[in-house]
Amino acid sequence: MEIDLIVLIPLLAILGAIYYYITKKNNYFHDKPIPSLATEPLFGSTRRLMMKKTSFSDFIVDIYNKYPLVKVFGMVDTMQPVFVVRDPELIKKIGVKDFDYFVNHRPVFGNNEDSHNSALFSKTLIAMNDQRWRDMRATLSPAFTGSKMRQMFDLIVECSTNMAKFYKDEIRNNGGRAREHEMKDVFTRYANDVIATCAFGIKVDSLKNADNDFYINGKKMMAFNRPIVMIKMIGFRLLPKLMSFFSLDLFDREQSDYFVEIIRDTLKTRDAHGIVRPDMVHLLMQARKGAMKQQREEEDREEVKGFATVEESDVGKTGKGVEMTELELVAQCLIFFLAGFDTVSTCLTFLAYELTINKDVQDKLYEEIRETSKSLGGGPLTYDAIQGMQYMDMVVSEALRMWSPAPATDRLCVRDYVVDDGDRLKFTIDKGTVVFFPVQGLHLDPQYYPNPHKFDPERFNEENRGKIDPCTYLPFGIGPRNCIGSRFALMEVKAIVYYMLLEFSFEKTPNTQVPLKLAKGFAGMRSEKGVFVEFRPRKKDD
């Protein structure tokens, strides 16, 4: 009995310490003058999401709608106190005006603050903090101006025409009969080829060569629903310092090494032979040497921008920049790959779904595409032509509103911040806590978008777009930490829609799920049963 007690008492003490550790923040909001979601050990307020009872997008909408009359409310994400900001004016203050209090992202996948961390993700722009982030943003910003996108547009057109030709040949070889395809698979392969050529400087054809190494390694890297990845993500949430101590990365070493080797080989070859190619590798090589000059003010005056395109802040326009290490350059290519592989293909998947079930929108967009093609004499699409397609921009903007690939975005509070609305709301967002901007909740709020579940591109026509509060439309984030690649993503999306609709109509099949339901869990936005669409060839007189 005495031996049992000797074992039991320390065990109980350890269990008590663990329980305290995982629940110590659960009462954080009790002394704040704002409502908060209920909490429970380990999960905080997110058990339904963590246990795959709901999708991340639906989770954000549900919690957003729980307190319709408040500007901000609290929740606990596993063990992290989170302020969910619903009020557009407060979102603007935190994301733009008082940005210096919220300069960093939450370190979800490791210790961002350790500049000696060998984990590749920690070297990406999205994971960098404080002055390191400011310097890198200023270094990379000139690579994403309109003129630089124009230089890469021919590479995107090449990938788009290859895809349209592949499906035309497939139908011809199938006796003229159209077949259904799963859109996430289709557009992941397209996005893979675009990123391969634009960000890694190599050509792959993921339609003809379905199992190419680049695509397979990308798929493995993006498989966030694998048990080992889930364990790592929980580890980063609960024991971030321990994960950082062992230099553990979110990505498997095999996939990281594969992409690192590609970039290093490309850099060596180009340096040795003076090869210049209009792609991201070349731009990053210039940025690494500090060779790019800012031409943004002149470009901003001349360029026609899509509604969803975000503006670069003074951080990117006037920052001093920094010379990148080779590993940092590789890391930027990697993050472009991750964003392009998943986010762009997700946008295209849900856009194709909406065009399929809204034939009037598809027909009107096709008419604009046909007119544009005529104006080009049947020649290849140009950057200026795609930028001038107003209805195309309206359609893409509406797709990003209804199906935002990033249902929420976050900021980490780096020093105590007092919220005071001048009325009755006053409290402190403490250093080390997190702020959520519930993007999908805002996008589906009938206060800002009447009949929000209706796919209606006219919300973004010339007359209506001026009535939209910019802080209620955040597909690419807000403020200095918005998405640096919005121009690239938008031209990539528009180019493939142009070429596919020029050749095919998108048609429903018996496998097209209507209404669409989202897969449960927090690992990326995807449909429950896939999005199946038939590519039906257009008649010559269409």
Binding site as annotated, residues: 483
| Residue among 34, 60, 6 at smallest CA distance from 442 | 60
Length of the chain equals 542
Whether residue 392 contacts residue 498, with contact meaning beta carbons closer than 8 Å, is answered with yes
Grouping H, G, I as helix, E, B as strand and the rest as coil, residue 506 is strand
Are residues 404 and 473 in contact, defined by beta-carbon separation less than 8 angstroms? no
What is d(CA 517, CA 529) in angstroms, rounded to the nearest whole number? 8
285 and 326 Cβ atoms separated by less than 8 Å: no
How far apart CA 7 and CA 475 sit, in angstroms, is 55
Listed in sequence order, the DSSP H helices in 306-451 are 314-318, 326-338, 345-357, 359-375, 383-387, 390-402, 439-443
Would you say 473 and 92 are in contact if contact means Cβ atoms under 8 Å apart? Answer: no
Token pair listed for 40: 């429970």
Q: Supply the Cα-derived Rg of the chain in whole angstroms.
A: 24
Quote the tokens at residue 280.
């991201």
Among 139, 114, 111, smallest CA distance to 125 is for 139
Candidates 61, 68, 64, 28; CA nearest to 44 is 28
For the chain, how far is it from start to end, CA to CA, in angstroms? 88
- Choose among 416, 310, 417, 406: nearest CA to 93: 417
Q: Which helix (H) or strand (E) holds 532?
A: strand 532-537
What type of residue sits at position 42? L
Other CB atoms within 10 A of residue 324 CB:
22
What is the spatial distance between Cα 348 and Cα 351, in angstroms, rounded to a whole number? Answer: 5
Whether omega before 515 lies within 30 degrees of 0, making that bond cis, reads: yes
Tokens of 112: 């961002």
Residue 535: strand pairing partners: 506
Rounded Cα gap, residues 85 and 67, in angstroms: 11
DSSP string over 448-496: TSSSTTS--GGGGSTTTGGGS-GGG--TT--GGGS-TTHHHHHHHHHHH
**What's the CA gap between 364 and 297, in Å, rounded?**
35
Structure token digits, residue 418: 């007092």
Closest alpha carbon to 403 in 467, 452, 360, 341:
452
Between CA 351 and CA 14 the distance in angstroms is 52
φ, ψ dihedrals at 176, nearest 5°: 85, 5
Which residues are part of a known binding site for heme? 483
